[in-house]
Amino acid sequence: MNKRNLFIILFVITIILFLGIFSFFFFKDDVEDVAIEDYVKEPVIINVDVEEDIAEEQFIFPDYEHDKDHDGMSDEEELSFGTSDLEFDSDDDGLSDLVEINKYGTDPTKRDSDDDGHGDAIEIINGYDPLGPGKL
């Protein structure tokens, strides 16, 4: 192999590596933005603290002596509904047990009450009925 062919091969490899590195850094941010926009209409953070604030505005929480998770339901009520007396949100869907039972009528033990593949809180945030097809 002569020096000219070796130079051409090294030059082509260098160009390919440069284009690969450039593409990675140039297109990396576009991929992340598209993924977010595909799944959520608006960026939303769902956590217990946010839901606690919403629930407190909508309901007056009774001060039960036996309410280990402080969700406004007595431990006895939690037992009757099959929810956890140690977790504010038994099914981890972003809605407290009390809000699911008293406001939306959803199942506080199922993350997706209508089994359509979308969690109850996500459906409500996007205006859909968590108990079946259609809008709220």
Report, as an integer, the average pLDDT of 61-90. 79
- Token pair 């769902």 is found at 46
pLDDT at 13 over 90: yes
pLDDT at position 1, please?
Answer: 66
The answer to whether residues 57 and 91 belong to one domain is: yes
Report, as an integer, the average pLDDT of 30-43. 45
pLDDT at 30 over 70: no
Structure tokens at 134: 């259609």
Residue percentage of the chain with pLDDT more than 70 = 69
The count of domains in the chain is: 2
The answer to whether residues 57 and 112 belong to one domain is: yes
Q: State pLDDT tens for residues 38-63.
A: 444 443 444 444 444 444 444 555 55
For residues 82, 102, 72 and 49, what is the CA-based torsion angle, rounded to 10 degrees?
Answer: 100
Domain with 76 in it:
48-125
Is 134 among the domain residues? no
Provide the 3-class DSSP secondary structure of residue 94. Answer: coil
The answer to whether residues 30 and 52 belong to one domain is: no
Is 130 among the domain residues? no
The answer to whether residues 80 and 60 belong to one domain is: yes
